[in-house]
């Protein structure tokens, strides 16, 4: 299930049901009106936040989703899956835009850059990849972690990347050069989630050691440790104004914290299993949570009450994100699908299918027109939010893609993987031969499939899958 909570009161607003397995990721659209959830049932669902109704279900991955996110403009969804791939989906139509392949293990996290032009993905192949959203081409791979990269994110200005890994460390990277800036050590177990504060000066990290840590970005020094959860911290995020922190845990609870003092504000209860992903709406008034109970929930931040529950995924929801305008939600799931949801009604808009394994991470591009997804199928996919069509698949990681994100200008993607690498991908307009061939094959695929087209069998082999 997914639950919505009022941040101020800590009360549950509503529970969203529809997934058939664990909800692994949930996120608000930028305008806060739509929720997206990813689940272990291999589907992504879009929900109307106001009504709690499912908009549509997106299917396409060959395994469950680990991460789902909206592009900054809310028009595109990105999903990362256990099938090692990333998919981009059109939010309006639910159609898959493209699949990004390159990771050699599950994609654990995917995110758009602030401008929506770049995707980042983190994978079980221990690498991070940056992808060009427009072309789907991989920009570069970042290597340095000794184990699965579970979380990757851009700084607000898009110049720095942060990654969290099973090797218990956090790394900061220069986006332009791909060079490692520094490594932050302090957690006693794997780092599951990392995020920048809105002003880019502070980092927050969540770990399996049950703690949350705040770090000074400039010095790399630990500021403080927040304790209170009885289980692994799966997801941590700042509110849009940077004053509040939210955390989701496998103790089935969500906690709100004072960002300045580190004091716990309240605990939100309602999910029946691990809370895998939590996010604020763009206006900070609503929370979205995705859980292993297969649901997505919307919560009123002020009262803490549950608004509604979105159901539709058949497995864990691993990643949820709002579109930049807050009207749409994207969810990634271990059911291998990505779903787009109408935040206002809670209805599912569409389901994006294309990944061959779990979707670990999904994110919108900054303009909201493109989605990026990272998957256990080792690939990253870019999707057209409006049509739901897959734009392209980025391949390069040797293991699961755990996390993907766009740079603030949308020109670069970053991906973190279980292959212990981080990759940067160029999303510019220049097409390489492989990309051009891929697009050409997309255009003539139906013709090549036609047994009466007169095409020779040897020519059909020019395009994969024909």
What's the Cα-to-Cα distance from 408 to each of 17, 136, 401, 414, 415, rounded to whole Å?
A: 33, 17, 20, 11, 15
> What is the average pLDDT value for the chain, to the nearest integer?
86
DSSP conformation letters of 412-443 = EEEEEETBSEEEEEE-SSPPPHHHHHHHHHHH
Mean pLDDT of the 253-269 span = 93
Pair 332, 443 in one domain: no
* pLDDT per residue as tens digits for the range 209-220: 999 999 998 888
> What H or E segment, with its residue span, contains residue 180?
strand 180-185
* pLDDT per residue as tens digits for the range 5-29: 887 777 888 888 998 888 888 888 8
| Separation of alpha carbons 236 and 110, rounded Å | 15
**pLDDT confidence of residue 463:** 54
Pair 462, 330 in one domain: no
| CATH number, domain with residue 96 | 2.130.10.10
Contacts of 19 (CB under 8 A, 6+ apart): 1, 2, 37, 39, 40, 41, 43, 45, 294, 295, 296, 311, 312, 313, 314, 315, 316, 317, 333, 335
**pLDDT confidence of residue 364:** 92
Pair 294, 360 in one domain: yes
Pair 426, 440 in one domain: no
Whether residue 458 is predicted with pLDDT greater than 70 in this model: the reply is: no
- Are 263 and 255 in contact, with CB atoms under 8 Å apart? no
**pLDDT confidence of residue 457:** 54
| Separation of alpha carbons 100 and 195, rounded Å | 24
Residue 315 DSSP symbol = B
Q: Domain tally for the chain?
A: 2
Closest to 35 in 3D by CA, of 372, 257, 319, 284: 319
Pair 357, 438 in one domain: no
What's the Cα-to-Cα distance from 95 to each of 1, 54, 181, 391, 411, rounded to whole Å?
A: 24, 16, 38, 9, 22
Pair 343, 455 in one domain: no
**pLDDT confidence of residue 447:** 40
Pair 348, 450 in one domain: no
| Separation of alpha carbons 210 and 130, rounded Å | 30
User: Phi, psi at residue 446, to the nearest 5°?
Assistant: -60, -40
Contacts of 162 (CB under 8 A, 6+ apart): 151, 152, 153, 155, 170, 171, 172, 173, 194, 195, 196, 203
Pair 461, 354 in one domain: no
Pair 377, 443 in one domain: no
Pair 423, 439 in one domain: no
Question: Which strands, in side-by-side order, build the sheet including 202-207?
Answer: 191-196, 202-207, 211-216, 222-227
| Separation of alpha carbons 351 and 361, rounded Å | 15
Mean pLDDT of the 181-207 span = 89
Whether residue 152 is predicted with pLDDT greater than 90 in this model: the reply is: no
Structural domain harbouring 440 = 433-466
Pair 415, 449 in one domain: no
Residue 306 Cα to chain centre, angstroms = 23
| Separation of alpha carbons 312 and 302, rounded Å | 27
**pLDDT confidence of residue 456:** 52
| Separation of alpha carbons 111 and 125, rounded Å | 17
Question: Residue 433 — pLDDT band, cuts 50, 70, 90?
Answer: very low
What's the Cα-to-Cα distance from 411 to each of 70, 84, 261, 322, 383, rounded to whole Å?
A: 15, 22, 36, 20, 15
Pair 294, 407 in one domain: yes
Q: Which of 244-248, 336-340, 446-450 has the lowest mean pLDDT?
A: 446-450
Mean pLDDT of the 345-366 span = 92
User: Phi, psi at residue 3, to the nearest 5°?
Assistant: -125, 145
* pLDDT per residue as tens digits for the range 401-419: 888 878 778 888 878 777 7
Q: pTM for the complete prediction?
A: 0.66
Mean pLDDT of the 333-361 span = 93
Whether residue 432 is predicted with pLDDT greater than 80 in this model: the reply is: no
């Amino acid at each position: 299930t997914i639950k919505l909570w009022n941040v101020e009161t800590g009360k549950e607003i509503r529970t969203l049901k529809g997934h058939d397995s664990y909800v692994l990721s949930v996120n608000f659209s930028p305008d806060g009106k739509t929720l997206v959830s990813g689940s272990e049932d291999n589907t992504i669902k879009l929900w109307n936040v106001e009504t709690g109704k499912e908009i549509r279900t997106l299917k396409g991955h060959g395994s469950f989703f680990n991460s789902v996110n909206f592009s900054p403009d809310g028009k595109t969804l990105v999903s990362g899956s256990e099938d090692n791939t990333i998919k981009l989906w059109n939010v309006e139509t639910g159609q898959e835009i493209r699949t990004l392949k390159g990771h050699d293990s599950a994609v654990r996290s995917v995110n758009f850059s602030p401008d929506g032009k770049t995707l980042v993905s983190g994978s079980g192949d221990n690498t991070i990849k940056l992808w060009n959203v427009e072309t789907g081409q991989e920009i570069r791979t970042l290597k340095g972690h000794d184990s699965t990269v579970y979380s990757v994110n851009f700084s607000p200005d898009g110049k720095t990347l942060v990654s969290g890994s099973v090797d218990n460390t956090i790394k900061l990277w220069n986006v332009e050069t791909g060079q490692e800036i520094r490594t932050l050590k302090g957690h006693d177990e794997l780092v599951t989630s990392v995020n920048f504060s809105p002003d880019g000066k502070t980092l927050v990290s969540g770990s399996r050691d049950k703690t949350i840590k705040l770090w000074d970005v400039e010095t790399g020094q630990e500021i403080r440790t927040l304790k209170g959860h009885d289980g692994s911290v799966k997801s941590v995020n700042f509110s849009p104004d940077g004053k509040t922190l939210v955390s989701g845990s496998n103790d089935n609870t969500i906690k709100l914290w004072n960002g300045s003092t580190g004091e716990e504000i309240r605990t939100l209860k309602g999910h029946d299993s691990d809370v895998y992903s939590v996010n604020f709406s763009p206006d900070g008034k609503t929370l979205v949570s995705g859980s292993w109970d297969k649901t997505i929930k919307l919560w009123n931040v002020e009262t803490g009450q549950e608004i509604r529950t979105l159901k539709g995924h058949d497995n864990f929801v691993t990643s949820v994100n709002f579109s930049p305008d807050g009207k749409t939600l994207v969810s990634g799931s271990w059911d291998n699908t990505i779903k787009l949801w109408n935040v206002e009604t809670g209805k599912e808009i569409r389901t994006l299918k294309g990944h061959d394994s779990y979707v670990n991470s999904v994110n919108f591009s900054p303009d909201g027109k493109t989605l990026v997804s990272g998957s256990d199928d080792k690939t990253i996919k870019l999707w057209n939010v409006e049509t739901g069509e897959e734009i392209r698949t980025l391949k390069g990681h040797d293991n699961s893609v755990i996390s993907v994100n766009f740079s603030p200008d949308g020109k670069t993607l970053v991906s973190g993987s279980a292959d212990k690498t981080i990759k940067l991908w160029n999303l510019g307009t220049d097409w390489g031969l492989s990309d051009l061939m891929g697009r050409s094959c997309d255009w003539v695929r139906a013709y090549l499939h036609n047994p009466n087209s007169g095409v020779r069998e040897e020519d059909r082999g020019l395009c994969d899958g024909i």
